Every structure is written in C-alpha cells, then in structure tokens.
C-alpha cells in the first residue's frame, strides 16, 4: 500500500514514511492509493472478532509489512491493556439512540483509542533504528492528554503539546499537566486552538526547523489515527446491531477526523446509511455542507471546547474525493482559503459532499437541555460534546436504521457544564481523583511561532 499527498497525487510513500511525517511536506494530507474492499466472507468473519482482533485485521490492510504480524498484534494488545472496559468500546441504549462509549481509555476521551496504538507503534519502529524524534502537537483539550499518556516515559521521544490557555476545562488540563515525565512538555498558548494548530503546521513546513529536530506529528491528520478510528465503526455494526440493519452515525465533530473514518469505513463496504457531522455553535462544517462555502469565522468558546475549531484539517481529505482526485483543484481551493479567507465548492462538488454527509449544529442552550433530557429519561449522563451529536437523533424514530451517537468523552471531564444542566457533579472513574492533588507543570507562551520555536530548541 502506497500513500500520496492530497496536493500532489504523484507522491509515493510507504506507511512508515507517512507515519513519521504526519503532514506531507507540501502541506497536504496523506491518503492511501486505494481503499481495501471487504467482501462478504471477510465481513462475516468480522462478526466473530473482538475489538483487538478487528483492529489487527484493519491495520494490516493499511500497514503492509511495516510490522511483523506478531509485532502488530503486540502493539494492539498492549495499547488496549489500560482500558477500563474489556470490550474497549461499549454501547448504552437510550430509547432511539445507541450511545457508543469511546471514552474507556486512560484520559477519558475517544482520542485514547488511536493514540495508545500510535504510542506503541512509535516505540516499536524507533527501537529498530535508534532514531530520536520530537512530537509537537496542538490540542483543543483531549488529544494532548491522550498523546502525553501514550508517550510519557518512552525512549527516544519528546512530546510537546500546545493547548489554548484558559480555553479548556480544568479536568482536561490536569489530565495533561500532572504527568511527571522528563520527555513531556506542556505549553499553554495565549490564543485559540486554531492558533495552536497553525503554529504546529508552520513548524512542520519550516524544513530547517522540522528536519533539524526530527519533528513528527500525532495530530488528527496522522493517517494511523484514522485507521484506528475506522475499527469502531465496524465493531459497533457487528457487535451492537443484532439485526445487522444499516446504521446512522452522528459524530461530534471538530477536526473532521472521527467522522472521516466513518466515510472510509463506508467506502470499504460497511453498510452505513448516513453520517451526521454534528457541531456546536462553531458550525463552519454545517455551513459548508449546506451551502458549499467554507469560511472560517472567529471561534466562540463553548461548553464543548474540543469542538471549538474553525479550520478542520482533515476536511482536505474529503475535498480530494469530491473534486475527483484532482490535486490541482485541491491546491486551488486551499490557495483560495489562504488568500481570500474562504473557498466555494461548485455545484457538482457540493452535491457529492451532501450525498455523503448530513449536518447539524447545536447551541449552548440546546446542549444543556439535551444533557438534561437524556438524564431525566434514562438516568444516564452524557458529556456536552456527545449532546451536540444526540440532537439530530433525538425523537427520530427510524425503524429502518440503527442509530448510533458517538460518546466522545466521559462526562466527568466537563463537570461545570453537567452541573449547569442537571445540578449534579459527575464523578470521575475510580483512580482519577488523584489528579486534583498532583502538581501541574506547564509554561505559558505568547501566540508566537518564534517563541515556540525557541522553547522547543532549548529543550531537544
Ligand atoms: C477531538 C474531539 C472531538 C472532535 O473530533 P474530530 O475527530 O476532531 O472531529 C469531539 N469530541 C471530543 C470529546 C473530542 O475530544
């Protein structure tokens, strides 16, 4: 399996190359040259597999022989050892909605599912070539903690995480800043998540810098994360859908990684009826899917901070598809975005986008009301991100399809929002209370590329 960049379809790189690079050097995102098609026989067999086994089968298709079969199995089994639920992903039925609990990992959000695998993959590949790498990543709140947990204490790896200062919840911050490991660096940027993400992108394209420090990235653009996320679409279809009905999946969306994995699953042959891109009030994706205009506006802070995003990096991957794999057109749209502050899809492109995705957005008040409604009806507490995605499925009794809503974070990560809605403080799972008494370690920096560069160089 070879990979190319959305901005130059002539690139041909191996999985290992793109895994370390993260982002293509031309600023594009990597895509595989084809999507493996799963036939009836393979799919039938899938229904007998547990999460780790399914994960192995899917990773194998995209990683060729980067790993020995046994190494890949070990990577996956080790990655999921720290999960609190032996199914890894579980489902809670609440009326018409089946909530998909993706938050049983060590930092209480779905990001752990992919990040734990990445941590083991880096360790495995680096142990073979004695390379030293520096990971730099931006986080809207959950990726950072997931990455730090996955990479803390690992040999030959430093991890730098940029988060927007004072724009994430206290629990989110503490889950990142209370690790006492020499290879972990937390930086709070005086700016938004989009500012953090921009700094990381600029560091990557600055070849002088990124090559000098052997920079690598684990943001949601890393293709390995998409692979790990494909797994649970298959898993819920086979494990929690006894009649094997077509499925609708509503996904709390920010950077478009999680929902994009659903799109790939559908391409690989999974019977997904609709994929719903659910956003909070920062609804650039809803506007784009409805009107074809992609125009970032100022981000408004919300009670679902992990989705406070206006520049959804993974969106470029879907663009490549809807412009019929024409990388010149992708370049043109990205140039428009850079120079004019927006781009507009033509009618044909928009139609393709709409054929593949539905969209929804949810205000702050609606989010609070939905948390309350689910709690009152089912005695079940969902986090604010999940609530935004429950909106399009509520009261929507569709007998033909099974309706899943991704539960992307544990409610205890967002206690203020939950308390505001139902006057109850959600408790942290066992063992997590200790973060409150631990010392936090992080540095605050201006929103400045140069300052971050200097900070990193002093520490590598
Ligand atoms: C990251 C995150 C999202 C958004 O996921 P994307 O893959 O960026 O679209 C939604 N909810 C939570 C809790 C998250 O941490």
For residue 106, the 8-state DSSP code is T
Range of the domain at 262: 90-108+223-422
How many whole angstroms separate alpha carbon 404 and alpha carbon 407?
9
Active-site residue, from 44, 48, 111, 372? 111
Q: Which residue among 303, 309, 408 has the greatest number of ligand 1 atoms within 8 angstroms of its CB, and so is best to mutate?
A: 408
How many whole angstroms separate alpha carbon 137 and alpha carbon 186?
10
Res. 414 pLDDT band, cuts 50 70 90 = very high
Q: Is the CB of 262 under 6 A from ligand 1?
A: no
Residue 114 inside a domain? The answer is no
111 is known as an active-site residue: yes
Residue 275 inside a domain? The answer is yes
Please report the pLDDT score of residue 229 as a whole number. 98
Which ligand 1 atom is nearest residue 309's CA?
8
Q: Above 90 in pLDDT, residue 75?
A: yes
Which ligand 1 atom is nearest residue 140's CA?
1
Q: How far is the CA of 69 from the centre of ligand 1 (A)?
A: 31
Closest CA to 178 of 106, 110, 117, 115: 106
Question: In which residue are the tokens 């919840």 written?
Answer: 169
**Tally of domains within the chain:** 1
Res. 396 pLDDT band, cuts 50 70 90 = confident
Closest CA to 415 of 430, 423, 426: 426
Task: Find how far residue 433's CA is from the centre of its chain.
Answer: 26
Residue 71 inside a domain? The answer is no
3-state DSSP assignment of residue 401: coil
Task: Find how far residue 423's CA is from the centre of its chain.
Answer: 30
pLDDT tens figures, 45-59: 999 999 999 999 999
3-state DSSP assignment of residue 361: strand
Q: Which residue among 138, 258, 259 has the greatest number of ligand 1 atoms within 8 angstroms of its CB, and so is best to mutate?
A: 258
Residue 232 inside a domain? The answer is yes
Question: In which residue are the tokens 């520490």 written?
Answer: 459
Please report the pLDDT score of residue 79 as a whole number. 98
pLDDT tens figures, 77-126: 999 999 999 999 999 999 999 999 999 999 999 999 999 999 999 999 99
Residue 267 inside a domain? The answer is yes
Residue 328 inside a domain? The answer is yes
Residue 356 inside a domain? The answer is yes
Q: Is the CB of 256 under 6 A from ligand 1?
A: yes
Residue 26 inside a domain? The answer is no
Task: Tell the residue nearest (CA) to atom 2 of ligand 1.
Answer: 306
Please report the pLDDT score of residue 38 as a whole number. 93
How many whole angstroms separate alpha carbon 368 and alpha carbon 411?
12
pLDDT tens figures, 314-343: 999 999 999 999 999 999 999 999 999 999
CATH, residue 330: 3.40.50.1100
Percent of the chain with pLDDT over 70: 100
Task: Give burial (CB, 10 Å; 0-12/13-18/19+) of 376.
Answer: exposed
Where does 174-230 show beta strands of DSSP type E?
A: 184-189, 215-216
């Amino acid at each position: 399996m070879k990979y190319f960049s959305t901005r130059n379809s002539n690139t041909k790189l191996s999985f290992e190359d793109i895994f370390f690079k993260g982002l293509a050097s031309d600023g594009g995102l990597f895509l595989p040259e084809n999507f493996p098609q799963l036939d009836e026989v393979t799919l039938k067999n899938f229904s007998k597999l547990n999460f780790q086994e399914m994960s192995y089968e899917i990773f194998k298709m995209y990683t060729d022989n980067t790993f020995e079969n046994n190494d890949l199995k070990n990577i996956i089994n080790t990655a999921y050892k720290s999960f609190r639920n032996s199914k890894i992903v579980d489902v809670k039925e609440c009326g018409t909605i089946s909530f998909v609990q993706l938050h049983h990992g060590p930092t209480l959000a779905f990001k752990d599912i992919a990040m734990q695998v990445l941590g083991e993959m880096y360790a495995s590949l680096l142990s073979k070539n004695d390379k030293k790498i520096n990971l730099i990543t931006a986080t809207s709140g959950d990726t950072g903690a997931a990455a730090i947990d996955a990479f803390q204490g690992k040999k030959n790896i430093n991890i730098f995480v940029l988060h927007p200062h004072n724009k994430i919840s206290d629990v989110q911050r503490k889950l990142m800043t209370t690790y006492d490991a020499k290879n972990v660096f937390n930086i709070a940027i005086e700016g938004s998540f989009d500012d953090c993400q921009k700094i990381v992108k600029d560091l990557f394209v600055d070849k002088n810098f990124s090559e000098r420090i052997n920079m690598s990235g684990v943001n949601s653009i890393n293709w390995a994360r998409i692979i790990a996320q494909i797994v649970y679409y298959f898993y819920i279809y086979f494990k929690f859908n006894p009649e094997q009905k077509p499925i609708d999946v509503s996904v709390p969306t920010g950077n478009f990684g999680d929902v994009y994995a659903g799109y790939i699953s559908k391409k690989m042959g999974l019977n997904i009826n609709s994929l719903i891109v659910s956003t909070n009030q920062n609804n650039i994706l809803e506007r784009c899917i409805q009107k074809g205009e992609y125009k970032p506006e100022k981000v408004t802070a919300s009670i679902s901070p992990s989705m406070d995003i206006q520049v959804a990096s993974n969106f470029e991957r879907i663009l490549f598809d809807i412009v019929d794999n024409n990388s010149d057109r992708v370049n043109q749209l990205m140039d428009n975005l850079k120079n004019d502050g927006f781009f507009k899809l033509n009618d044909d492109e928009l139609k393709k986008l709409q054929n593949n995705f539905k969209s929804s957005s949810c205000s702050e008040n609606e989010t609070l009301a939905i948390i309350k409604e689910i709690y009152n009806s089912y005695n079940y507490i969902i986090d604010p991100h999940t609530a935004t995605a429950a909106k399009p499925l509520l009261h929507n009794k569709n007998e033909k399809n099974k309706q899943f809503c991704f539960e992307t974070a544990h409610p205890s990560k967002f206690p203020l929002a939950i308390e505001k809605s139902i006057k109850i403080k959600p408790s942290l799972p066992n063992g997590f209370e200790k973060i409150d008494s631990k010392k936090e370690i992080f540095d605050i920096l201006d929103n400045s590329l140069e300052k971050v560069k200097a900070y990193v160089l002093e520490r590598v």
